[in-house]
């Protein structure tokens, strides 16, 4: 086997197994940082040995065994013993002789959900809970999470380190909370699952929003649907399943060359996912509680309805985005409302509606650029398109924005 094949196998294992391997490794002590370091060492060793000896029959089991051995080395080291009390045998809770016991396929979904609920513990700083879940469970690095939140990478990295130390210091148990605590933690879990999907909308080719189960978007969709199965009476859980299903339905039209939503061919959208999303949304709407994810799912339903009507209902979008900003005034919701206002009331009104404090938020710059262009302010539009392109992760999106900037720098 060559190095390229071995690297591809390791990357597949990282995409599909990172979160559940971390929770297995961290469960005995609650030390997420050690679990991640041990797993990182295991992946490095895989890249050294798999090209020569071949990919093992069960890559996850191999990685788990190597990472556990690394943990044992650290637990037995003098530096670790002087820093924290050493359990009688940390490995006793997870015997090395049967690493595959912890990889029961029937338990995969629940193990990932367990870690999500651990990271949503109220003892962890609220500002760090969702980023922590995105990193530990879905495997995003601090820089990618920072871009999604519109903050600096260094600040996000420090936030994540503090959160992991908090889990270890307070010995937060790795278990799904009881019904009494579930409601308190559920919003953070839903936010993280959606966050994992949302980054695929602005990420590079390796994060493209594909339905494939080994993609990041597929993982988020799986977790959302699993939560909807486990909690069928929670309207926001149903709303999240609807939101991701309806958005993912348009993934066939997302390709290397960026195509704006208004120019996508609705005939190429996935009708099965649209039907699934609409069914989840109807179930959520039957309750007397309205929340963020139901509103966002309704927005996606309006977009998907263009497949039936061939027109966009901008007034419905304004109503939904206005309600969303009241319920959950995120940067994304405020920017989307500004874009809709610009479409209905004119570009200057849209520019006035853009939120402050979004200097590192790529969609805000892209929206500003389009509104400036519509307002006839070409030079300013070129600058905004340039800035949006710099902040874009996806090469196709970046090319599109650079081309738009060039149009206004050289209007001929």
The pLDDT value recorded for residue 372 is: 97
Distance of alpha carbon 311 from alpha carbon 297, whole angstroms: 18
Reference 227, options 189, 195, 256; nearest CA is 189
Q: Which residue has the higher pLDDT, 368 or 104?
A: 368
Query: Which DSSP helix (H) or strand (E) runs through 22?
Result: helix 3-26
pLDDT tens, position by position, 63-92: 999 999 998 888 877 455 555 544 444 444
Q: How does DSSP classify residue 410? A: S
Count the Cβ atoms, other than its own, within 10 Å of residue 123: 11
Is residue 97 very low, low, confident or very high in pLDDT (cuts 50, 70, 90)? very low
Distance of alpha carbon 369 from alpha carbon 388, whole angstroms: 8
pLDDT tens, position by position, 303-361: 999 999 999 999 999 999 999 999 999 999 999 999 999 999 999 999 999 999 888 89
DSSP 19-48: HHHHHHHHTTT--HHHHHHHHHHHHHHHHH
Statement: residue 98 has pLDDT above 50 = no
Distance of alpha carbon 319 from alpha carbon 322, whole angstroms: 5
Q: What sign has the CA pseudo-torsion 360, 364, 365, 368?
A: negative
Q: What's the token pair of residue 243? A: 């939101």
Distance of alpha carbon 83 from alpha carbon 75, whole angstroms: 10
Mean pLDDT of 98-117: 51
Helix, strand, coil distribution of the chain in percent, nearest 5: 75, 0, 25
pLDDT tens, position by position, 143-158: 878 877 767 888 888 8
Burial class (CB in 10 A: 0-12, 13-18, 19+), 188: buried
């Amino acid at each position: 086997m060559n190095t390229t094949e071995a690297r591809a196998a390791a990357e597949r294992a990282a995409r599909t197994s990172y979160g559940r391997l971390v929770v297995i490794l961290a469960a005995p002590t609650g030390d997420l940082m050690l679990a991640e370091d041990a797993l990182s060492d295991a992946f490095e060793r895989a890249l050294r040995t798999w090209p020569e000896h071949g990919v093992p029959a069960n890559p996850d089991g191999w990685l788990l065994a190597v990472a556990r051995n690394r943990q044992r080395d650290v637990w037995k080291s003098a530096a670790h013993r002087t820093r924290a009390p050493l359990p009688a045998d940390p490995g006793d809770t997870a015997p090395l002789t049967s690493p595959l016991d912890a990889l029961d396929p029937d338990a995969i979904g629940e193990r990932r959900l367990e870690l999500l609920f651990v990271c949503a513990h109220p003892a962890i700083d609220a500002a760090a809970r969702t980023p922590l879940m995105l990193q530990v469970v879905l495997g995003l690095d601090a820089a990618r999470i920072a871009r999604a939140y519109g903050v600096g990478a260094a600040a996000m990295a420090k936030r994540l380190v503090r959160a992991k130390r908090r889990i270890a210091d307070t010995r937060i148990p790795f278990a799904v909370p009881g019904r009494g605590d579930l409601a308190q933690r559920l919003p953070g879990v839903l936010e993280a699952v959606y966050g994992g999907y949302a980054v695929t909308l602005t990420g590079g080719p390796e994060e493209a929003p594909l339905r494939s189960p080994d993609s990041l978007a597929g993982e988020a969709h799986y977790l959302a649907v699993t939560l909807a199965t486990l909690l069928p009476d929670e309207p926001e859980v149903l709303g999240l399943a609807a939101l991701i299903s309806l958005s993912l339905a348009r993934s066939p039209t997302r390709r290397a060359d960026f195509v704006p939503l208004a120019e996508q061919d609705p005939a190429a959208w996935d009708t099965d996912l649209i039907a699934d999303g609409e069914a989840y949304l109807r179930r959520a709407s039957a309750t007397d509680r309205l929340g963020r994810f139901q509103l966002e799912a309704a927005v996606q339903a309006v977009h998907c309805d263009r497949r039936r009507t061939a027109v966009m209902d901008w007034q419905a979008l304004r109503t939904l985005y206005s309600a969303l900003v009241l319920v959950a005034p995120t940067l994304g919701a405020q920017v989307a409302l500004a874009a809709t206002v610009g479409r209905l009331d004119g570009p200057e009104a849209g520019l006035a509606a853009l939120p402050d404090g979004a200097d590192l938020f790529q969609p805000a710059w892209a929206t500003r650029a389009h509104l400036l262009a519509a307002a006839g302010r070409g030079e300013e539009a070129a600058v905004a398109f340039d800035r949006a392109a710099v902040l874009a992760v996806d090469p196709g999106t970046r090319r599109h924005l650079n081309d738009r900037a060039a149009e206004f720098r050289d209007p001929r």
